[in-house]
Amino acid sequence: MPALPEPAGRALVRRPGPAVADGLLTHLKRTPVDAARALEQWTGYVAAFTAAGWDVVEVPEAPEHPDAVFVEDTAVVVGEVAIACRPGAPSREGEVAGTVATLTGLGYPVLRMREGHLDGGDVLQVGMRIYVGTGGRTDAAGAAEFARLIEPLGRTVRPVPHGAALHLKSAVTALPDGTVLGHPALAGDPPAFPGARPVPEQSGSHVVDLGGGRVLLAASAPRTAVLLADLGWTPVPVDIEEFERLEGCVTCLSVRLRRPPQTVPAPPPAPGGPGRAEVGT
């Protein structure tokens, strides 16, 4: 029997609970959230990873925590090391234990933060540089401790103040070649991201590298999908409307555990098109 291909990576996800509609809001007015439809959309989100060759691992459910589906905020994985976050919202602190247990079970050493607060949604990895958004749920003390933990791994940390969106990755993310995407209304500190490319929709600001030139994004950003296709990428839109009502996006619904870059196929470059950089959005 021929050897099976290596998966593109592992995605940690957490099923939305029955109280998902009660999740915290910071910048949006509360509108009704259909929990059953949210579960359907979450299932479609997970299916996009599976179709792209990822292993999907479910973190234990936490029905007592409405925001637990936004599992990215509970941990950051840098290479082969995980950092357990200290969420900026006190009501979310109980979400971390399940993610830590899952990462430990997968063999990841887990470093624990003891000072300040940091949400995983505020951490954007682009190559060996890591941007940490501050001013929202992540504070300066949390960003500083995170830097102390991961700089021995060879990464450089740059704090980026922001305030127009819940998390840094609600405002900017990066394509597989390292190009940063952001909407002008949300991008925060433009000099922090030289060469950043503006997108036409706010929900187009957040993308996930699925490997093989495929880029996951919200179905609510069709013009951004066209832009990505014109740049040589294959857009993979998913409907996450119910989560968008809760300030969620395609990044915060998973923690991505990536294989070494050389085992992830690069997209076929179009003339003058994109290459590839190690991106851990």
Helix H or strand E segment including 255: strand 255-258
Confidence of residue 181 (pLDDT cuts 50, 70, 90): very high
Class of domain 9-20+32-261: alpha beta
Q: Using one digit for the tens of pLDDT, what is the confidence trace for 270-279?
A: 434 444 455 5
Catalytic residue from among 117, 167, 183, 206: 167
Is 73 a known ligand-binding residue? yes
The response to whether 67 counts as a known ligand-binding position is yes
Which of the 8 DSSP states describes residue 279?
A: B
Contacts of 28 (CB under 8 A, 6+ apart): 245, 246, 247
% residues pLDDT > 70 (the chain): 87
Annotated ligand binding at 115? The verdict is no
CA distance 257 to 80: 8
Listed in sequence order, the DSSP H helices in 211-264 are 222-230, 241-244
Quick check: is 85 catalytic?
no
Tokens of 101: 């247990």
- Is 252 a catalytic site residue? yes
- Please check the confidence at residue 3 and state whether its pLDDT lies above 80: no
Q: What angle do CA 231, 234, 236 make, to 5 degrees?
A: 130
Query: What is the spatial distance between Cα 119 and Cα 97, in angstroms, rounded to a whole number?
Result: 14
- Which of 48-52, 158-162, 257-261 comes out lowest in average pLDDT? 257-261
pLDDT above 80 for 23? yes
Cα–Cα distance for residue pair 98/74, rounded to 1 Å: 9
208's CB contacts (< 8 A; 6+ apart) are: 173, 215, 216, 217, 250, 251, 254, 256, 281
- Over residues 15-28, the mean pLDDT reads 85
As a whole number of angstroms, the distance between CA 36 and CA 120 comes to: 26
CA-wise closest residue to 124 among 104, 143, 149 = 143
Domain ranges of the chain: 9-20+32-261
The predicted-structure confidence for 71-102, as pLDDT tens digits, reads as follows: 999 999 999 999 999 999 999 999 999 999 99
At 189 the pLDDT is 53
Within 10 angstroms of residue 164's Cβ, the number of other Cβ atoms is 15
- Nearest Cα residue to 249 out of 27, 18, 9: 27
Q: Which residue has the higher pLDDT, 168 or 1?
A: 168
Per-residue pLDDT for 234 more than 70?
Answer: yes
How far, in Å, CA of 132 to CA of 128, rounded?
13
User: Would you say residue 186 has pLDDT above 90?
Assistant: no
137 assigned binding-site residue: yes
Point out the catalytic residue in the list 65, 85, 206, 252.
252
* DSSP-assigned beta bridge partners for residue 131: 124, 158
